[in-house]
Amino acid sequence: MTSKKVEKRREVSIRFCGDSGDGMQLTGTKFTDETALAGNDLSTFPDFPAEIRAPAGTMAGVSGYQIHFASEQVYTPSDSPDVLVAFNPAAARANIGDLRPGATLIINVDAFNKKAYQRAGYTEDPLPDLRERFHLVEIPLTTLNREALSGLDLNQRAIDRCKNFFALGLLSWLYGRPMKSTERWLESKFKGDVLEANLRTLRAGWAFGETTELFPVSFQVPAAKIESGTYRNITGNQALAWGIVAAGQLMDRQIFFGAYPITPASEVLHEVSRHRNFGVKTFQAEDEIAAVSSSIGASFAGNLAVTVSSGPGIVLKQEALGLAVMVELPLVVINVQRSGPSTGSPTKTEQGDLFLALYGRHSESPMPVLAPSSAGDCFTTVLEAFRIAVKYMTPVMVLSDSYLANSSEPWKIPDVDTLPRAPIQFATADDSGNEGFQPYERDPETLARPWAIPGEAELEHRIGGLTKEPVTGNVVYDPVSHAEMMRLRGEKVDRVSADVPPVEVDGADSGDLLVLGWGSTLGAITAAVDEARKAGQMVSRAHIRHMNPLPSNLDEILGRFKHVLLPELNTGQLSMILRSRFLIDIQSLTKLAGQPFLVSEIRDAIDSILNNS
């Protein structure tokens, strides 16, 4: 075995791409786990089609997984990968637009036959051109994998399906990733010849790297210096699910989770369903309406209720959410936003549902809205949403999105003992005075009404969607009661401000430019502002996660800057709100491509404002 030279790298980004049946998401996640265990900071971006198995070898079926890792802090999956691993011509063709000239392109050269490149839409052999433009590494992946697995009692198809692990082994060698976690995962997942095949080809991939002349050097990306603690990888959807489970534990109450399958939110239902031993009751309803209605019913009965969906499902739930506002019951509604109206692009990302969350119900139907800004933040946000919902007796909407849902980052595991515990106070017979129980008597501080649950004596009461008299909750139609209850519901949500921390500015307190963001754009904005500062520009940054009510110091902070740039993945919904609320000129940067912002897009907007001011 020759000992090759090892070069140090500060950061690397790699994109794996192939057919949606090639196992690219799996390859990506396993490489990510190895990278996390190597101590790098990282950010990932899985990007896959809505079709489960589009016709093989076509552009429609290309699935990709990008990872960016470094020995310093990483904010985004990176605009442009340093290395593209393409399993077939379609994958190459669909992705090389994102590559810089001279970047490394590793291909499975066995898959670049005439039939395959024609199916991908190339009219002539693309290899000469690719050799010209990139550092092309041609590896006969199919052949090498077959050779590695010869002698095993598996058919050709089963053998060929293992080739992604050959590639994983090779890339693991190239970047010095420990493969222990992958081997452990394979051992937990497979048995017999299939296990043997995957392990063998994984190790063969590593060994190939060590011996081949195609790679004269391998690379080392030293561990990042991060805050001490115990870490794990987490995706946004997993964090939402664990936040739900944790809420039941911390608030000492059973969780009821009503849901209907929808991309990209279903994984939350899947994950929570695995944890019935926490006493969580997941309920797969017949439709989105039943999912939210059963959840509101569960809340009436005293459970911590949550429903999770995506845009099209949230629209269907809105009538019931209006009822939840009217009857003032706690409920957490999670919207993992996806892109486009109607079915749109179900697996792609967008922040297009802010108006839907704030204004998407009939009449005046206010509700607190929170937006997590990273995968790990999804956990914290769900816990916060439950606390607000119970304290103020209100539905609360959480706006995650497809990007947060699927991308992963290292997450410092919180110490369970330090997480805020918030046991619930239900109304008791003592709350029933001489006049009997008053279901709309309000807490003077929060304006919350009591939570009185069936089974509790002396508190029998009726609630519903009709206009009610304050205090008694009796059905009335008089204008005074109507106006008073409208006002109280609005003011109650405004009072949630007491639990909204002030927004913090990163950088100078005042100046020429503040880049303001919300939700999942945090990574791209932070990276762009970082770059700008390194280039000598004075740029401040602030990020909000409380969309309603907004942090009370926001108005004042915005006023301290000459320019405010607000990038969002919609047509400028938050910009429009802030302009009308604060009469401030916000410069909106919008994108509606189903993809997160590139760092360069925000960087360019910063340049353009500062250069023209």
Q: How far is the CB of 291 from another protein (least distance, A)?
A: 8
Query: Which range binds another protein by CB under 8 A, 44-52, 100-108, 318-326, 561-569?
Result: 318-326
How far are the Cα atoms of 223, 445, 517, 608 from residue 569, in angstroms, in the given order?
33, 37, 10, 19
Pick between residue 458 and residue 491 the one whose CB is nearest to another protein: 458
> Where are any strands of DSSP class E within 524-579?
540-544, 546-548, 561-568
Pick between residue 37 and residue 565 the one whose CB is nearest to another protein: 37
Pick between residue 298 and residue 605 the one whose CB is nearest to another protein: 298
Task: Indicate the SS3 state at residue 562.
Answer: strand
Asked if residue 233 lies in contact with residue 182, where contact means CB atoms within 8 angstroms, the answer is no
Pick between residue 283 and residue 582 the one whose CB is nearest to another protein: 283
| 293 contacts another protein (rule: CB under 8 A) | yes
List the one residue out of 496, 310, 278, 282 whose CA is nearest residue 387. 496
Pick between residue 293 and residue 400 the one whose CB is nearest to another protein: 293
| 229 contacts another protein (rule: CB under 8 A) | yes
Compute the distance between CA of residue 3 and CA of residue 5 in angstroms, rounded to an integer.
7
Structural element, H or E, at residue 401: strand 395-401
| 278 contacts another protein (rule: CB under 8 A) | yes
Select from 256, 403, 440, 561 the one that contacts another protein (CB under 8 A).
256
Select from 29, 303, 373, 570 the one that contacts another protein (CB under 8 A).
303
Select from 27, 263, 295, 373 the one that contacts another protein (CB under 8 A).
295
Select from 67, 139, 174, 245 the one that contacts another protein (CB under 8 A).
245
Burial 436-459 (b: 16+ CB within 10 A, else e): ebbbbbbeeebbbbbbbeeebeeb
Compute the distance between CA of residue 351 and CA of residue 543 in angstroms, rounded to an integer.
15
Compute the distance between CA of residue 396 and CA of residue 390 in angstroms, rounded to an integer.
10
Total residue count of the chain as it appears in this document:
613
Query: Which range binds another protein by CB under 8 A, 77-85, 148-156, 273-281, 492-500?
Result: 273-281
Binding mask 455-474 for another protein (x = CB under 8 A): xxxxxxxxxxxx-------x
| 277 contacts another protein (rule: CB under 8 A) | yes
Cα dihedral 430/435/441/443 (nearest 10): -40
Select from 24, 141, 305, 550 the one that contacts another protein (CB under 8 A).
305
| 327 contacts another protein (rule: CB under 8 A) | yes
The 8-class DSSP code of residue 151 comes to: T
Residue 44 pairs in a beta bridge with 67
- For another protein (CB under 8 A), the number of binding residues is 70
Select from 320, 356, 542, 598 the one that contacts another protein (CB under 8 A).
320
Residue 370 pairs in a beta bridge with 398, 546
Task: Indicate the SS3 state at residue 419.
Answer: coil
Q: How far is the CB of 185 from another protein (least distance, A)?
A: 8
Pick between residue 166 and residue 437 the one whose CB is nearest to another protein: 437
Pick between residue 95 and residue 307 the one whose CB is nearest to another protein: 307
Select from 26, 39, 469, 552 the one that contacts another protein (CB under 8 A).
39
Q: Which amino acid, 88?
A: N
The 8-class DSSP code of residue 141 comes to: H
Residue 543 pairs in a beta bridge with 517
Select from 232, 270, 482, 579 the one that contacts another protein (CB under 8 A).
232
List the one residue out of 401, 493, 531 whose CA is nearest residue 73. 531
| 559 contacts another protein (rule: CB under 8 A) | no
Query: For residues 86-125, which are near another protein according to CB under 8 A?
Result: none
Q: How far is the CB of 76 from another protein (least distance, A)?
A: 22
| 9 contacts another protein (rule: CB under 8 A) | no
| 297 contacts another protein (rule: CB under 8 A) | yes
| 389 contacts another protein (rule: CB under 8 A) | no
Q: Which amino acid, 3?
A: S
Asked if residue 399 lies in contact with residue 371, where contact means CB atoms within 8 angstroms, the answer is yes
- The answer, yes or no, to whether the previous bond of 49 is cis (omega within 30 of 0) is no
Token pair of 55 as six digits: 């016709």
Pairing of strands 41-47, 62-70: antiparallel
Compute the distance between CA of residue 10 and CA of residue 216 in angstroms, rounded to an integer.
19
| 283 contacts another protein (rule: CB under 8 A) | yes
Query: Which range binds another protein by CB under 8 A, 62-70, 250-258, 352-360, 523-531?
Result: 250-258
Pick between residue 459 and residue 505 the one whose CB is nearest to another protein: 459
| 281 contacts another protein (rule: CB under 8 A) | yes
Select from 475, 480, 498, 593 the one that contacts another protein (CB under 8 A).
475
Q: How far is the CB of 99 from another protein (least distance, A)?
A: 31
Compute the distance between CA of residue 230 and CA of residue 281 in angstroms, rounded to an integer.
30
Query: For residues 206-225, which are near another protein according to CB under 8 A?
Result: 223
List the one residue out of 605, 560, 578, 581 whose CA is nearest residue 518. 578
In the complex, which residues of this chain contact another protein (CB under 8 A)? 33, 36-37, 39, 181, 184, 223, 226-233, 242, 245-246, 249-250, 254, 256, 258, 275-279, 281, 283, 285-287, 289-290, 293-303, 305, 319-320, 323, 327, 413-414, 416, 453-466, 474-475
